[in-house]
Structure 1
Amino acid sequence: MGTTTVSGEATDLSARLWDERALLGDLVTAAAEPDRTGQLLDRLRALRLEQDVLVHALAEQWGTDPETATLRSIERVAPVPWDLLLPEHLTALADLTAEVDALLPPGALRDTWDRISPRAR
């Protein structure tokens, strides 16, 4: 595919990563509110599915196996400027993930978090 498509999908992925960063920030502030936390986890799950589709499309375009693609794997092959932007997103996501990990108590919400947590990337 052409550069415009690659840039469009990369831009879409970056927007979804910004969305995830905002959601994780909301989870940090809502960790003591089970109803709100559950809603945010549902939104995070849906957002992660959107991201996975974009990651697989970009992996194919950037020369990585789409079947095994992760954010980390496309980060290693990302062209300019994504080679700088993706690591920035991943660092911020790791920091926010650690905050959520520290706040969520054991139980059903924690189990859901463990299944969809960005640390699995």
Structure 2
Amino acid sequence: MGTTAVNGEATDLSARLWDERALLGDLVTAAADIDRTRHLLGRLRELHLERDVLVHALAERWGTDPDTATLRSLEGVAPPPWDLILPEHLAALTALVAEVDTLLPPGPLRDAWDRISPRAP
């Protein structure tokens, strides 16, 4: 596959990560609103599926095992400029996940969060 296709997939992954960052920021501000939090958690689950497909495809192209690929494993094999972009996304995601983690109280929403939380992107 050519460089254009790889850059397209990497750009798509970056866009999904921006979406995830925005959604996690929304979760921080909506943690007390049960209906909104439920909706945001559903969208987060969808984003994770989209992200996983892109991670798998990029892992194969960037020379790492697609079956065990994670954002962290891509970080180590990403070509420029993605070797700089992915660590920035990972740092922001890690901080946002930690913030949401502290805000959700025990209960059904917390259980849903625990099932889909990207604690180790």
1:6 matched to 2:6? The reply is yes
Aligned to 2:57: 57
Task: Determine the C-alpha separation between the residues in 1 that align with 2:28 and 2:61.
Answer: 35
Aligned to 2:90: 90
Task: Determine the C-alpha separation between the residues in 1 that align with 2:8 and 2:105.
Answer: 39
How many residues of Structure 1 are paired with residues of Structure 2 in the alignment? Answer: 121
8 Å CA contact 2:97, 2:118 repeated in 1: yes
Q: Which amino acid aligns with 1:33?
A: D
Pairwise CA distance, 1:73: 0.5
Pairwise CA distance, 1:118: 1.2
Task: Classify the secondary structure of the residue corresponding to 2:105.
Answer: coil
Task: Determine the C-alpha separation between the residues in 1 that align with 2:107 and 2:120.
Answer: 19
Task: Determine the C-alpha separation between the residues in 1 that align with 2:119 and 2:69.
Answer: 15
Task: Classify the secondary structure of the residue corresponding to 1:96.
Answer: helix
Pairwise CA distance, 1:120: 3.4
Which 4+ stretches in 1 moved above 6 angstroms? none
Aligned to 1:28: 28
Structure 1: gaps spanning 5 or more residues: none
TM-score, L = length of structure 1: 0.98
Pairwise CA distance, 1:115: 1.0
Task: Determine the C-alpha separation between the residues in 1 that align with 2:6 and 2:107.
Answer: 41
In proportion to residue count, which structure has more helix?
1
Question: Percent identity of the aligned residues?
Answer: 80
Task: Determine the C-alpha separation between the residues in 1 that align with 2:44 and 2:95.
Answer: 16
Aligned to 1:104: 104
8 Å CA contact 2:94, 2:120 repeated in 1: no
Alignment RMSD: 0.6
